[in-house]
Amino acid sequence: MTTVRVRSATAADVPLMHALILELADYERLRHEVWATEHDLARALFGDDSGRAACAEGLIGEVDGEPQGCAIFFTTYSTFVGKPGLWLEDLFVLPAARGRGLGAAMLRRLARLAAERNYGRVDWAVLDWNESAIGFYRGLGARVLDEWRICRLDGEALAAQAAKG
């Protein structure tokens, strides 16, 4: 019988999580956009000695005791709901472990965390071509908000706007 377990990430999980992020980027055809190092990820999840606080959290998903996926998320705020929420930045399960309930277990854990913290919702983005993920999310009861588009200010455009400030 398959055992699925979701646990909070520890500092020792950073190399694994970074490797999973790279696999996710390959799957999404976005590897060229990954600049984050293990050090960057460790600082984001656990803070650092300079006093920089953690700004994200992580989960590790295991199947039969072996790490097979991860989720990385952080707190947001909705002015419409009037409460914080969780933004799921990454959810990834290795291909060999898919279909065993690990992705659903990680999303259930996020839902429990949001409920325990009295947060109003969990949000995330999905690539429009990723029909299997869209179907998976809809199967869990998630709404796919087709009318919204993600906007991003980064790189030279970010620097240019910051310089005007």
pLDDT for 67 equals 98
The residue-averaged pLDDT of 38-44 equals: 98
pLDDT score of 9 more than 80: yes
Q: Is 21:92 a contact under the CB 8 Å cutoff?
A: yes
The residue-averaged pLDDT of 28-38 equals: 96
What is the pLDDT of the chain when averaged over all its residues? 97
pLDDT band at residue 109 under the 50/70/90 scheme: very high
Looking at residue 89, its amino acid is: E
pLDDT band at residue 126 under the 50/70/90 scheme: very high
Domains of the chain, start order: 4-124 (3.40.630.30)
Looking at residue 117, its amino acid is: R
Give the single-character DSSP code of 13.
G
Spatial neighbors of 134 by CB under 8 A, at least 6 apart, are: 126, 144
Paired with 75 in beta bridges are: 86
The catalytic residue positions are: 137
pLDDT for 165 equals 74
pLDDT band at residue 4 under the 50/70/90 scheme: very high
pLDDT for 1 equals 86
CA–CA gap between residue 90 and residue 33 (Å, rounded): 14
pLDDT for 108 equals 98
Query: Which long-range contacts (C-beta less than 8 Å, at least 24 apart) are formed by 87-92?
Result: 87/122, 87/123, 87/124, 88/122, 88/123, 88/124, 89/56, 89/124, 90/21, 90/24, 91/124, 92/20, 92/21, 92/23, 92/24, 92/27
Q: pLDDT (tens digit, 9 = 90+) per residue, 127-141?
A: 999 999 999 999 999
Counting residues of the chain whose pLDDT is more than 90, the rounded percentage is: 98
